[in-house]
Amino acid sequence: MFAESSSVEIIRDSSSFGLPLGDPAASQPHLDLGRKQTPVQTPQSHHTAVLALGANLGDRARYIEAAVSSLDAHPSIRVVDTSFLYETAPMYYIDQPRFLNGACKISTSLSPHALLDVCQQIERDLGRTKEHVPRNGPRVVDIDIVLYDHEQVTDGERLIIPHARLHERAFVLRPVCDMMPTYVHPVLQRTMASLLPLTMDGSMTRVMPVKDRMWHWGQQTRVMGILNATPDSFSDGGQHLDLERALDTARDMVRAGVAILDVGGQSTAPGRVEVSVEEEKARILPLIKAIREDPITQETPISIDTYRADVAKCALDAGAMIVNDVSGGSRDPQMLVLVAQRHCPFIVMHMRGDASTMTRLTHYEGGIVNDVRMELQTLVRNALAHGVRRWNLILDPGIGFAKNKQDNLLLLRRLPELVDHCAAGMLRECASPEVHDTTQLHEGPCMSLAHIPVLLGVSRKRFLGDLVHAPSSDPALRMQASIAACVATMATGCVDLIRVHDVAQAMDAVRTSDAIWRN
């Protein structure tokens, strides 16, 4: 009977800002869709365009990934950035399944109409048909041109740029904001971020495809259980060298409610000696295969804790589906190539140096929070530039890696600053301070860390032993301190996963904390 919400939008013409009405810099306040415009004449060889992506039939994530990969494979197109993925309720024609939506930014030498032809051909190649399908009805994939440079194109119903309904569709505008929140709409003369509040959809959630399920960020904190198949890990070294014993631990973790089993074959603790690639694979592959074959653990996602691409490749082939790289893809040049090819979730951790040098690299000239943020931005930019999708990224601030006790505490205290106070489950916009030019579609990826899910790994770390006045005690006795650190940061709302040894105790803490803060 009554509307769910109301809004007021005030749009002024150029005279309100001291500009003459005829000034060419001032665009009309409303979209003029009835006026035929001259086709775009663009002298430069490359143009930047933004494409909206959607699917609501079959394996939605696979179809969207296939569409982006097909675009990138075209000789005249290069994908330079991607948004997060969102699950949304259908709009206009509501009697159909929920949609998965996203967007990508491309560099292309194609004209707008030639680009449209390519997009429609990719849709057909992936199985989309419009025959006997109602307008705005279900589809395996949809690729729409949203923006093209700073141009305007009106060609009847065939092509309208900017997209005619960009400003009213949260499922299009929200992904665009992930890549370019301060870009100014060529017609409405408002930033993408300023348009977003008028379109907010309460049923919209940011998601990550993991195995055959969707993880909805912001609804719960997930627990990652540590399974180190090593003799020298700082806390549980030697406990899981025996395959059956390691499998028993994995079963206990799954029964307790763990979301991910993190398998590692090499200790990265300070001072540890690196093992060979073959030794690392010999430690982790039997365990991964056993987890995959066991009826209790086989459905639980496995992450491989390694910075070596060859180890990660073999682990993914054996059944792992997430790569957890302590170097964030910086130590092995083939790691980002592999992750991009496999389209798998990728955990980008911050560290400096390696196990033998990290303790000497703890000086942060710009301050721990600022420098870690900047260095993570560089890692994220490199990942995106190699074709890793933004929707597959997870951040880890690297607590205990190249950081002293005070640095660790300050980083934990100010954790929301790493993601611009914009948690993965938050849908309000946070404009990136790095973006200054608001009238051009830049070719490079957006470096903002806003809304990227955060993994926190503080379990049994040495600085916790210092805090509880037991620095030389058994690391396993630091469980309570570990849980306290996790709960303190979960209250900020920006921690989406915690990596722990003590899964059962962590699950109790997570359920309680989520009931207070998330629900």
Active site positions, annotated:
461, 499
Across 63-83, b (16+ Cβ under 10 Å) vs e yields bbbbbbebbeebeebbbbbbb
Q: How far is 304 from 339, CA to CA, in rounded Å? A: 12
In 329-387, at which residue ranges do the beta strands (DSSP E only) sit? 346-349
Sequence-distant (6+) residues with CB within 8 A of 280 are 265, 266, 306, 308, 311
Distances (CA, A) of 507 to 79, 239, 281: 40, 22, 30
Residue 493, sorted as left (phi over 0), alpha (psi -120 to 50) or beta, turns out to be left
422, amino acid identity = C
193, amino acid identity = A
Which value, to the nearest 10 degrees, does the dihedral of the CA atoms of residues 495, 212, 243, 457 take? -10
The token pair that represents 312 in the structure block = 């990660």
Nearest to 56 by CA among 120, 101, 119: 101
The token pair that represents 137 in the structure block = 């009805």
Burial (CB count within 10 angstroms: exposed 0-12, middle 13-18, buried 19+), residue 418: buried
Distance, C-alpha 466 to centroid of its chain: 34
Which value, to the nearest 10 degrees, does the dihedral of the CA atoms of residues 378, 379, 381, 383 take? 160
The token pair that represents 201 in the structure block = 């959809």
Asked if 478 and 460 count as a contact pair (C-beta separation under 8 A), the reply is yes
DSSP character string of 231-293 = S--TTTTTTTSSHHHHHHHHHHHHHHT-SEEEEESS--STTPPPPPHHHHHHHHHHHHHHHHH
Q: Provide the 10 A C-beta neighbour count for residue 171.
A: 23
The token pair that represents 222 in the structure block = 């997930």
The alpha carbon dihedral of 472, 476, 478, 482 has a sign of: positive
